[in-house]
A and B are shown apart, each in its own frame.
Chain A
Amino acid sequence: QSVLTQPPSASGTPGQRVTISCSGSSSNIGSNTVNWYQHLPGTAPKLLIYSNNQRPSGVPDRFSGSKSGTSASLAISGLQSEDEADYYCAAWDDSLNGYVFGTGTKVTVL
C-alpha cells in the first residue's frame, strides 16, 4: 500500500536512456525532497540520488534525478548491464510522519 507509485518495469538496450517515474502527493513529494535507491537482490540497497537531483560521491553522472510538483523521475543514460536492478523512489511524508518508498521498478537491460 505504498503512497508513491512507480511503473513495475522498465527496459532498454545498452547505451539507451531509461526514465522511471514516481508519483506522489502534496504530503510527500510535494513538500519534501525525493531520494532514489538502487537495489540488487541479496545486497544492501544503495543511495543513488538525494535531495531530488544530487548524486552521492561515487555515483556515475549517468544517473540523474528531477522533481516537479508531486512527481519525480530518475533517468539512466548510457544504460549498462550492471544497471540491471530494482529502483525505488522515497520521500518523507508529513501526513504519515514517516518515510515512504515507492512501489519499485525493475530495470532490465536487453
Chain B
Amino acid sequence: QVQLVESGGGVVQPGRSLRLSCAASGFTFSSYAMHWVRQAPGKGLEWVAIIWYDGSYKYFADSVKGRFTISRDNSRTTLYLQMNTLRAGDTAVYYCARDGGDGYNLANWGQGTLVTVSS
C-alpha cells in the first residue's frame, strides 16, 4: 500500500532554513507528480508546491515563491522541500501527497510534520 512518511520538522528561528523529507513506498515513485501542502494552526489547507514525476516542472504558491524549493530523488524515492528565509507565518503542519494522475488530485497523503518558526 502507498506509504508517505514526512520528517525534518521542528522549531526554527525566523530567517533560518529547514529541509523536509518525504519517504515514499508502495508505488512507482518515479511515475507520479508529488505535492507539498500545509495547514497553519486553526487555518485551512494551503497548497505549497508540486513537482512533476521527472522533476521537469515545478510550481509554487505565491506565499512561498522565491523562498522554498521542491526536489525529488527518484532513486531514493524521496521528496524534499527546502525552506529558506522562514517566517512566523510558515508555522504549520506540512504534508506530502502523491498526485493521482487524473487532472491533479492528491490521492494519498502522509501524516505530516510540524514546523514551528519562532524565536
Contacts and interface: CB of A to CB of B under 8 A. Distances in A.
Contact of A45 (B45, B59, B61, B104): B45
B44 A99 contact: no
A79 B26 CA distance: 33
Contacts of B108: 47
A45 B106 contact: yes
A68 interface: no
B44 A101 contact: yes
Contact of B106 (A47, A54, A102, A104): A47
A35 B37 CA distance: 15
B44 A103 contact: yes
Residue of A32, A96, A101 contacting most chain B CB atoms (<10 Å): A101
A85 to B, nearest CB: 12
A50 B50 contact: no
Interface stretch (B16-24, B67-75, B95-103): B95-103
Contacts of A46: 109
B45 to A, nearest CB: 5
B47 interface: yes
Interface string B102-117: 1111111111100000
A51 interface: yes
Contact of A44 (B50, B100, B103, B111): B111
B17 to A, nearest CB: 22
A78 interface: no
Contacts of B61: 98
Nearest to A50: B105
Contact of A99 (B47, B100, B109): B47
Interface string A31-50: 01101010100011111001
Contact of A101 (B47, B60, B102, B103): B47
B47 A98 contact: yes
Contacts of B60: 98
B107 A47 contact: yes
Given A33-B103, A92-B103, A44 B62 contact: no
Closest 5 CB pairs of A and B: A104-B44, A44-B109, A50-B105, A99-B47, A35-B105
